[in-house]
Amino acid sequence: MSDNDGKKTLGLRGGPRSGNVKQSFSHGRTKNVVVETKRKRVVVPKPNAVKSGTEGSAKAAVAASGSKRPAGISDAEMERRLKALQAAKAREAEEAAAREAAEKARAEERERMRAEKEAKEREQREAEERARRKAEDEERKAREAAEAAKAAATPADVAPPVSRQPAGGPKPSQTPPRKTDREDRGRRKTDDGGRRSGKLTLNQALGGGGNRQKSMAAMKRKQERARQKAMGTSQPREKIVREVKLPEAITVAELANRMAERVADVVKALMNNGIMATQNQAIDQDTAELIIEEFGHKVTRVSDADVEDVIKEVEDDEADLKPRPPVITIMGHVDHGKTSLLDAIRDANVTSGEAGGITQHIGAYQVKSKDGTVLSFLDTPGHAAFTSMRSRGAQVTDIVVLVVAADDAVMPQTVEAINHAKAAEVPMIVAINKIDKPAANPTKVRTDLLQHEVVVEEMSGDVQDVEVSAVTGKGLPELLEAIALQAEILELKANPDRAAQGAVIEAQLDVGRGPVATVLVQTGTLRQGDIFVVGEQYGKVRALINDKGERVQEAGPSVPVEVLGLNGTPEAGDVLNVTDTEAQAREIAAYRANVAKEKRAAAGAATTLEQLMQKAKDDEDVSELPVLVKADVQGSAEAIVQALEKVGNEEVRVRVLHSGVGAITESDVGLAEASGCPVIGFNVRANATARNTANQKGVEIRYYSVIYDLMDDVKAAASGLLSAEIKETFIGYAEIKDVFKVSNVGKVAGCLVTEGVARRSAGVRLLRDNVVIHEGTLKTLKRFKDEVPEVQSGQECGMAFENYEDIRQGDVIEIFEREEVERNLD
């Protein structure tokens, strides 16, 4: 250590905290040394400045603490402060230890109190159970004693029954007599030792009122959860692996629901896979399968069409089949007496209720013959527009009765009915009607049928034929006998003890009853309350009404009934199937509606550029007559739409914007106004609101009850869109003999009319070497100096062309007239 002008530098060597003395300074009387270490700057007293052990210890403490003593603080004060600091630290350590011990004691106390509480509750429950059992035993003994005493005593000295006493009460000998059994039962119901009595109401369940208590298992589970939470040893819940049915497309929310996972977790998993999707967005099947496997579940791929599996046809056991009535369809040409014949069989008068005396709906009836045989009849329309109706009738029938008028022979719809019967592969019976008329010729009918490969028994064939008269009733028993014979040969059977299946014969929208479908049950039994799906609609059978207007509870095979309870009007020809649950029916109906929507969109969509251009060109070349059709039943609406689509040619066509069943509503009028088309009502009327709206907006509403009139009016309206045909008629020829130039007029041709007549109002063509070089009209036609309307053959005249003067001697003028001829659709 060296000294330089009162300032000394100390070189210290040692541990990691050592350093070098860089500067010394004087502080009062004592000189201090500043030592800079690697971590801190320490001021230590000069070694020769230490005078006593106290001062040395204080200085050593200051050096050890690494603090810098403020100016004006003595060593004793510094030592006192350091001692106070050490004492505070010691007290803080003691307080921390005390707090830890107190917390541990409190935890032990809580655990002890919880154990005591559980033991007390357990003892209380055991005591209550013992008291309840004891009370029941006493009550049973008292009841047995009373019954024994009552049986042993005479009616005069019957002892009063002993009332029930709680545990610890007076002895049976001291109990007062109970009043009545009813009072005793009421008292026992209310005083049952804390047990739950009576029905559980919503207020009791939500408010926890009454004596309602949790079960032992629930309390044990709660205590176990609390104990595990207090000990911090709660075990994670075991993962439940589910089998997830995966359709072709599924929303994120539905996927999470089927996996029983949180939607947020599924969305997070999709994001981790690079797919940004919300809970309402649909994802494809492959992506959904990855997510399901990531969550540890099993995947079962299903198709959307698998929803139809619940209504797949099942083969009935031969032992379950029972005989059923035959279904007979009456078919034939219009006005050949089909409905009249059926009326004669049913002793009814359906014809009077049909507009125009022709059938325009499919009717379904049941007839009981004199021998007790039950027959189900379907009456189909004979008009050409109702082809689809006749086809449906042939598809659901067992026997076809072909009605042919004896005075009219085989007609186009008769041939069509024969084709439908052959396509459906059902036996046929020929009924030659109107045999009572003087012009009747049944032999001609049989001969004409030979041309269509229908050979009747009288012509050595295998088809039965019966001559009948709907007016006189002649031949009706023979016809019923022939039907019964044919039905017996077919041996018709069905299983009535299974889920019902049937065909929709007709459907309509009734104002008071809603959608109504006429259903012919084919197999099974349809009962009130059954849930069913029919086409794109579903529902629950609210009521069943037979052909006589009576409500029935069920309908077996071959029974036609009206079904109420649909959510919409089905299409005629749809198949009705009974399902187990409403969810199944709703799912199947939604799937079918979606498929039908996609088919309609695909049918009207152009997929290539060439198709788009061709469609646009066709729309420009063809004029359209838009119409809106509302009918009383679905079958009529379908027939009208099909007939209207056939109206037109390559220049004009009829376009049905919308068709439906039910009354004409305000929305129909609004659609017609927006499209600029009329509204056609077939056997329906517009309501008051729709009529007022139509009058205000100028929408035409036309009502029809006969399909003939409707088709004629639509054809006439469509014919108005056809451009008129221009017909030219040549009326004369003239030859130019000379050409003159007249002031203020121009060149004038001096002509000789060589053929026909020349008229001022007619059109003219200028021919030069038999080539047309100009076509136009005449500006003037003069005979000498006078303007004349026409010039006869062999006379001379002067002609001047309108806006044309290139005329020469020797040219020929062709004179013609144009006539517009209106065209009509065939």
The answer, yes or no, to whether residue 347 has pLDDT greater than 80, is: no
pLDDT tens sequence across 155-183: 444 444 444 444 444 444 444 444 444 54
Q: What angle do CA 566, 562, 314 make, to 5 degrees?
A: 75
Mean pLDDT (whole number) for 350-378: 60
Contacts of 572 (CB under 8 A, 6+ apart): 362, 388, 389, 392, 504, 505, 506, 507, 633, 634, 635, 638
Q: Give the closest residue to 400 by CA, choosing from 490, 503, 504.
A: 490
Give the tokens for residue 74.
Answer: 């003595």
Count of beta carbons in the 10 Å neighbourhood of residue 582:
14
Highest mean pLDDT among 254-263, 343-352, 657-666: 254-263
Q: Give the closest residue to 523 by CA, choosing from 368, 324, 363.
A: 324
Long-range contact list for 769-776, CB < 8 A, 24+ apart?
Answer: 770/812, 773/806, 774/801, 774/804, 774/806, 776/801, 776/802, 776/803, 776/804
User: How many Å apart are CA 83 and CA 80, to the nearest integer?
Assistant: 5
Give the tokens for residue 176.
Answer: 């007062």
Between 53 and 509, residue with greater pLDDT: 509
Between 255 and 377, residue with greater pLDDT: 255
Query: Strand 464-467 relative to strand 428-433: parallel, antiparallel, unpaired?
Result: parallel
Count of beta carbons in the 10 Å neighbourhood of residue 321:
16
User: How many Å apart are CA 258 and CA 779, to the nearest integer?
Assistant: 89
Q: CA end-to-end span of the chain, whole Å?
A: 137
Give the tokens for residue 726.
Answer: 């221009």
- Mutual angle of helices 263-272 and 285-294, in 10-degree steps: 110
User: How many Å apart are CA 414 and CA 444, to the nearest integer?
Assistant: 14
Between 154 and 400, residue with greater pLDDT: 400
Q: What is the pLDDT of residue 27?
A: 43
Cα torsion 203, 207, 213, 218 to 10°: value is: 110
Contact 694, 717 (CB under 8 A): no
Q: Give the closest residue to 344 by CA, choosing from 193, 469, 223, 463.
A: 469
Q: What is the pLDDT of residue 718?
A: 72
Least confident of 504-513, 688-697, 798-807: 504-513
Give the tokens for residue 773.
Answer: 């070089």
**373 confidence band (pLDDT: 50, 70, 90):** confident
Least confident of 126-130, 453-457, 508-512, 590-594: 508-512
Q: What is the pLDDT of residue 413?
A: 78
pTM above 0.75, yes or no: no
Q: What is the pLDDT of residue 266?
A: 93
Q: What is the pLDDT of residue 87?
A: 92
Cα torsion 345, 348, 354, 360 to 10°: value is: -40
Between 343 and 520, residue with greater pLDDT: 520
Q: What is the pLDDT of residue 602?
A: 61
**199 confidence band (pLDDT: 50, 70, 90):** low
Contact 273, 288 (CB under 8 A): no
Which three-class secondary structure state does DSSP give residue 380?
Answer: coil
Q: What is the pLDDT of residue 265?
A: 92
* Cα distances (angstroms) measured from residue 36 to each of 17, 40, 44, 47: 9, 6, 11, 17
The answer, yes or no, to whether residue 5 has pLDDT greater than 50, is: no
Give the tokens for residue 604.
Answer: 């009207």
Q: What is the pLDDT of residue 268?
A: 92
Could you give phi then psi for residue 39, rounded to 5 degrees? -110, -35
Beta strands in 324-469 (DSSP E): 327-332, 363-368, 374-379, 399-405, 428-433, 464-467
Q: What is the pLDDT of residue 310?
A: 66
**306 confidence band (pLDDT: 50, 70, 90):** low
Contact 705, 793 (CB under 8 A): no
pLDDT tens sequence across 46-90: 444 444 444 455 455 555 554 556 667 788 888 888 899 999 999
Mean pLDDT (whole number) for 461-472: 85
Q: What is the DSSP string of 35-66?
A: EE-SS-EEEEE-GGG--SHHHHHHHHHHHHHT
User: How many Å apart are CA 158 and CA 179, to the nearest integer?
Assistant: 14
Amino acid making up residue 388: S
Which three-class secondary structure state does DSSP give residue 539?
Answer: strand
Contacts of 661 (CB under 8 A, 6+ apart): 507, 508, 509, 569, 630, 631, 632, 633, 634, 637
Mean pLDDT (whole number) for 222-226: 83
Give the tokens for residue 415.
Answer: 């041939």
Range list of H helices, 278-411: 285-294, 338-346, 387-395
The answer, yes or no, to whether residue 642 has pLDDT greater than 90, is: no
Could you give phi then psi for residue 138, rounded to 5 degrees? -65, -40
User: How many Å apart are CA 467 and CA 441, to the nearest integer?
Assistant: 11
User: How many Å apart are CA 307 and CA 392, to the nearest integer?
Assistant: 26
**343 confidence band (pLDDT: 50, 70, 90):** confident
Q: What is the pLDDT of residue 535?
A: 85
The answer, yes or no, to whether residue 724 has pLDDT greater than 90, is: no
Which three-class secondary structure state does DSSP give residue 720?
Answer: coil
Range list of H helices, 634-665: 634-645
Contact 32, 45 (CB under 8 A): yes
Range list of H helices, 396-541: 412-424, 442-450, 476-490
The answer, yes or no, to whether residue 277 has pLDDT greater than 60, is: yes
pLDDT tens sequence across 531-554: 999 988 899 999 888 877 888 888
pLDDT tens sequence across 323-341: 888 888 888 877 777 778 8
Q: What is the pLDDT of residue 399?
A: 85
Check residue 654 and report its DSSP letter: E
Q: What is the pLDDT of residue 146?
A: 85
pLDDT tens sequence across 8-50: 333 434 444 444 444 444 444 444 444 444 444 544 444 444 4
What is the percentage of the chain residues whose pLDDT exceeds 70? 73
What is the percentage of the chain residues whose pLDDT exceeds 90? 6
